[in-house]
Structure 1
């Protein structure tokens, strides 16, 4: 949206939320390290020359070049959509599909109803509220010991960067803030367990960094249980295969990705990958037709909902950002009725980072240089510096720096709201 040539195009944005979320710091907001407004950027504030509609794209008519939309006004999340609103349609000359994806529940019973996801600010707000609820309820007089222990058992399913960073942020909250505001005997009951189906956590990172994180979590009494399968989720417990019931106070679901409903709607017309989760594009990010594999004229896709043919890149923000910049420059240099005269998209892997708690982090830039791997406090400074620099607006840079300083001075806010 920022880089498109506004003099050449009338730009229209359709999205069920009227803000952009800087997701790398989403876990920090879920425990109050920074506030929610620090990572949101209002769409309308960027340019007066764009049109924005708060709506959900429900279907696309490629022949008529029309986008069919349903109004979405009010609270919503990626997993829970509102009742259908009023419908309308918009025509286009060039269309960019960047609808993202949802957390994959793997059709496990009870996950949608009882688990907490971490994809949007509303999710982080719900998690933050639930954490405080668990501590407040556990402090109630007359509550039996087992119930207290169950309420203060925090379970995370998923050993990727999202699950690890949330676990780290929650550990910091408990060890730095909860212990100062709740009775010591209560906080000492708090425990965390992380489950994953993979043989090790952070499988996309260098194995030494994964082992380093495992050892650090072990010292913090964060249990890591790999090769575990969840069979069912209930309101106060989940069922682990070959282990039985595991009570919890909060369950955060941070597993893989599942397709956006729009991708499923278009599955009879566009080519999808083997898992039917992502649309397939050519090297110039143009969507391919299902049967002929020829390109759909002036229809592009990027981010988690798309995959380049014969080039399976990870579904990360880094890939999406580079694709967006590439596409914006390509479209801006040509007319809407011709294929962008540019070379195919080339991804430049700049590495990965993850926060692991206690002012320590991981930086894996082995894709740039085989020895460019760092863990510990220095990596934490690099992690904070990198995400601070990538924050979109000057306003949010100031807010983030301010809240980091306030948290360091006074601790996190434990208000429930």
Structure 2
């Protein structure tokens, strides 16, 4: 595959997630040709996956074709590595795509630690297909063991606890409290909500072994049976794409303009990048940081190509909101916790406003109308010998 850059230059974006979609929009507004390389070509709404798995939301809520949101070219390919010297992306199968500037936003993959039986017997929750496979599995199991008490695990356990009251759900977290990256008050609110939905929470337990029937744990609770879902963290793999670049735990180290250190002409944003806030402190992986950084990285890539001035990334973590269904949620605005004394009812509204703002900034009113959560689009999922087949209806 070869590219044909326009006279204004050609920016290539790797990945169609939150950072990638906003990078594409930022670069497009800079007046350059933009090509997004992504295997599916879909933009995934990761915070909506728990609702899809629980049956509250449809497949249409979980993903949208990137072309429906941003006016860019989409190349449905896997990017294997970047040849920085030649300004080319090497694609699976041997194709090459040239660029004038590149934005890497490939996100992070599920982190699978070296636990016996984990990869063979556990599943994860990273995209719409994962959510629908889990949804198809639930009627055939009486119990579910979710490993990982971060935001994904808490949201999923709470959603399923409400939607599947006869399903025995255990949430296992290795740390001594839920949401270990958040304030203790938020962890406490999450724990109360999960208890209200009859979810068993085991804190301070490490998974020692996974088999077809469940998990073996250390600590007082030695064994929990059930279908195992692993949401125990994510691992960036930026060093696999950019061998010349400086990385930290697989995340690409970037400068103030989000250009990758050791890779001229290459920018990075989202989970694959080691972002810092206004005070120089490391930022965790999150959608809000991804979309802020993506917009800056895309705009700066276009500015590099067209000879304009680049701007400094000023990334700000404003808080966190987790909509857990049933008109309830937990979260915080800055340091102020939400989840106590009726504030849990405010969280879903905040979550919706963030979701709609994301759509508006990508594609305006049309994107909001066509891709807001709760659209009347159904999905069927059938499971055969080769896996789950998905078919959107309605």
Q: TM-score, normalised by structure 1?
A: 0.76
Kept after mapping to 2: 8 A contact 1:195/1:228: yes
Residue 398 to residue 308, structure 1, CA distance change in 2 (3 Å): closer
Is structure 2 residue 139 aligned with structure 1 residue 165? no
Query: CA separation in 2, counterparts of 1:398 and 1:87?
Result: 38
Kept after mapping to 2: 8 A contact 1:93/1:337: no
- 2:73 is matched with 51
Structure 2 unmatched ranges of 5 or more? 1-23, 361-366, 384-388, 390-394
- 2:331 is matched with 363
**In the alignment, which of 124, 129, 134 is matched to residue 117 of structure 1?**
124
**In the alignment, which of 38, 52, 70 is matched to residue 15 of structure 1?**
38
> In the TM superposition, what whole-angstrom CA distance separates every residue of 1:151-193 from its partner, at most 9, and x where no partner exists?
x121111111100110111112113xxxxxxxxxxx3xx3111
Query: CA separation in 2, counterparts of 1:400 and 1:279?
Result: 36
Larger Rg: 1
Structure 1 residue 356, shift from structure 2 partner: 3.9
Question: Which stretch shows the higher mean deviation, 119-128 or 305-314?
Answer: 305-314
In the TM superposition, what are the counterparts of 1:10-409 in structure 2 within 5 Å? Answer: 10-46=33-69, 50-70=72-92, 86-134=93-141, 152-175=142-165, 187=166, 190-242=167-219, 243-248=221-226, 250-260=227-237, 263-267=239-243, 269-273=244-248, 276-289=249-262, 296-308=263-275, 311-332=281-302, 334-336=303-305, 341-367=309-335, 370=336, 375-391=343-359, 393-397=367-371, 400=374, 402=376
Residue 210 to residue 357, structure 1, CA distance change in 2 (3 Å): farther
Kept after mapping to 2: 8 A contact 1:307/1:313: yes
Kept after mapping to 1: 8 A contact 2:132/2:381: no
Secondary structure in structure 1 of the residue aligned to 2:64: strand
- 1:144 is matched with none
Structure 1 unmatched ranges of 5 or more? 71-85, 135-151, 176-186, 290-295, 407-411
Structure 1 residue 389, shift from structure 2 partner: 4.4
Structure 1 residue 34, shift from structure 2 partner: 1.1
Kept after mapping to 2: 8 A contact 1:27/1:169: yes
Residue 350 to residue 373, structure 1, CA distance change in 2 (3 Å): farther
Secondary structure in structure 2 of the residue aligned to 1:193: strand
Query: CA separation in 2, counterparts of 1:133 and 1:53?
Result: 38
Kept after mapping to 1: 8 A contact 2:36/2:74: yes
Query: CA separation in 2, counterparts of 1:20 and 1:314?
Result: 21
Query: CA separation in 2, counterparts of 1:109 and 1:56?
Result: 30
- 1:293 is matched with none
Query: CA separation in 1, counterparts of 2:205 and 2:53?
Result: 25
Query: CA separation in 1, counterparts of 2:65 and 2:85?
Result: 33
Q: TM-score, normalised by structure 2?
A: 0.80
Structure 1 residue 302, shift from structure 2 partner: 0.8
Question: Which stretch shows the higher mean deviation, 215-224 or 314-323?
Answer: 215-224
- 1:149 is matched with none
Query: CA separation in 2, counterparts of 1:47 and 1:387?
Result: 16
